[in-house]
Structure 1
């Protein structure tokens, strides 16, 4: 997990440096980012449920001789704050959790599969190729259906989108 946190840190620093080059001092950049709550282990939150289910799909497809497993990483608000402060190009004007009424309603497995595909199709395509995209996400839909009660509850309990307006120093 530390390797993924370090990679996220490097990637996010690059993102911040690039945005800093685009903005004049005093200019604002507004970020909306998915995050996981501080202090809740990945295994106990929605992202962990998604990735465990998605990962089990990849492992099963690997056992079939089709694929190998890939991992994802999501930061906590404290991690984001630390990265932005270390970057030195921006001040955080505020950081607040956005309310999303859809997160208060249990979604269907097919909704989850569509959402995962919308977010990760490009990554899956890049790593595994076009010919595996449908297989992976169809398999995920089946696995999500099997685990919908666990995933749905964790979506309500632990997913959050952060609104972070940054000011260029």
Structure 2
């Protein structure tokens, strides 16, 4: 089972790596806020909401990063990272509010035909990975994939910030 999981997980990481240009564009968009007068806000949905605290308080958090909560006032100098396992109604409503207020954002979730945004990164975890004896599947590594994407963004943004100094 471990070998199957490892193989499947490596496949997800390769799919994420294949989105190099999308990730680079997202990193540049987020770096604009940090270099300028804005902040980067983090908003998670589903299981990815548990990463909000880690990404805003951990040792390797981006500068000027905060959790996006209901009372937060954001403006056009700010950027938002939206993380969701699936593109559901709560994500769609949140995006509608951001777009209404002309707030740039990066959406990280699994592909959905309804997604129509410029800054999208496919989470690449649409289903559980490991087959079981009863032919079901277990382990849907949304958090691992998002963490991998975050660390790529972190490294790219850190490199951009170091060049600015």
Where on the TM-score scale, by shorter chain, does this alignment land: which range?
A: under 0.3
Q: Which has the higher helix share?
A: 1
Using the size of structure 2 for normalisation, the TM-score is 0.28
Larger RCO (alpha carbons 8 Å, 6+ apart): 1
With the length of structure 1 as denominator, give the TM-score of the two structures. 0.27
